[in-house]
Amino acid sequence: MSTTPFQIISSTDILSAHINGLASSINKIEQVLNMKTATATGHTLNAVNDMDDSTLHYRIYEGTIRNWTLFTVKRNGVEVSSSEYVSNSGFGAIVFNTQQLSTDVITVDITYITSDSQVIDDINTKLLKRPFPALRPTSSWMNNFVGGALTVAIDVLQQARTIDAFPILITEPVTIDQMRIVTSASNTTSSTMVMGIYSDSNNFPSTLIAQTASFDATTTGEHVQSLSSGDLTLQPGIYWLARYQSAGLKLDGFNASSFMQIIDPIDTTLINGSYSTIYCVGARTGDVGTITSLPTSFPALTPNGGAGLAQYVKRTTVGTVWARRKA
């Protein structure tokens, strides 16, 4: 592997060439990773006014979001001509030619580089051992089953007050309108439940994109719930089917060997539960308390877990969550 032979800089002034060299290296890394971008409107820039020379006050403005690729500068809501300032968009700053009023509000509308990489997302997709097959028009209900011997498992006991999520790979645009679970005939525990769908980030559930209302899942049999926000169209990609249960009820499901599996993390302390030698099939939070709606962001992946945090989870059997493909 080739690396740039950067020298150790002694106690001296930093030259512009030093910074330019580092910036060039960063740009090359960004290109290799194919970094993603996002947009922000009305992002406020703050004046740097701690210089001894008061004539420099209210000339340099910087934001908390850096690495702009496109930008429009506004003063009090009105676009500013580029002739009035020098841009340092990579650093998230601009320098006005003349002082601005202390009452002026300087904002930018920007497109900027985020901490997400398309290359890393593609790699994580390939790390999933067995992708979900192409959806068939005759298939109405979907879960993370990938083929092989689908062995039914009954009385799969669930952890109380946790959220379980399981990955599913969608290979063509599909519209989802309902979700469901099946409560075991032997269940005697009273429990409410919420089901939902999360996006994927780096092979872990990320942002909530749809959910059902909270419902009573106690009674035996199938529980079907519509998505609260109406029909949801999913583009090809990885998503996570999630459910929360307020108590340890029993669900019907399948053996985990038939489901999409996740390559084990290097640090096995991330694995939730005592099933340390079998199938890593999803993610599970710690105790999130009694809730009636799912969190907008899935709790963070954290070593050893804990209340409100999350880990990967290994199971021999899975209490399955289903999503319905609308005809």
Nearest-10 Cα torsion for 195, 200, 202, 207: -70
The amino acid at residue 9 is I
With the C-alpha atoms ordered 316, 317, 323, 327, is the resulting torsion angle positive or negative? positive
Cβ atoms of residues 217 and 187 within 8 Å: no
Element of type H or E holding 225: strand 221-226
156 sits in which H/E element: strand 152-157
**Exposed (0-12), middle (13-18) or buried (19+): which is 244, by Cβ within 10 Å?**
buried
Residue 101 has which token pair?
């009023």
**Structural domains of the chain, with CATH:** 16-116 (no CATH), 124-325 (2.60.120.380)
In one-letter notation, the amino acid at residue 103 is T
Cβ-contact 258, 145 below 8 angstroms: yes
pTM as predicted: 0.59
**DSSP code per residue over 75-143:** ETTEEPPGGGEEEEGGGTEEEESSPPPTT--EEEEEEEEEEEEHHHHHHHHHHSSSPPPPPPTT--EE-
Q: What is the rounded distance in angstroms from the CA atom of residue 180 to the CA atom of residue 54? A: 65
Structure token digits, residue 227: 């998505």
Taking CA 91 as the corner, what is the angle to CA 85 and CA 96, rounded to the nearest 5 degrees?
15
Q: How many Å apart are CA 192 and CA 213, to the nearest integer?
A: 10
Structure tokens at 254: 């399948």
- Per residue of the chain (327 residues), give pLDDT as tens: 567 777 777 776 777 787 787 788 888 888 888 888 999 999 999 999 888 888 888 999 999 999 999 999 999 999 999 999 999 999 999 999 999 999 999 999 999 999 888 877 666 655 444 444 433 434 488 887 776 666 788 889 999 999 999 999 888 899 999 999 999 999 999 999 999 999 999 888 999 999 999 999 999 999 999 999 999 999 999 999 999 999 999 998 888 877 887 766 655 555 665 544 567 888 999 899 999 999 999 998 876 666 778 888 888 888 889 999 987
The span from the CA of 309 to the CA of 112, in Å, is: 29
C-beta of residue 293 within 8 angstroms of C-beta of residue 214 = yes
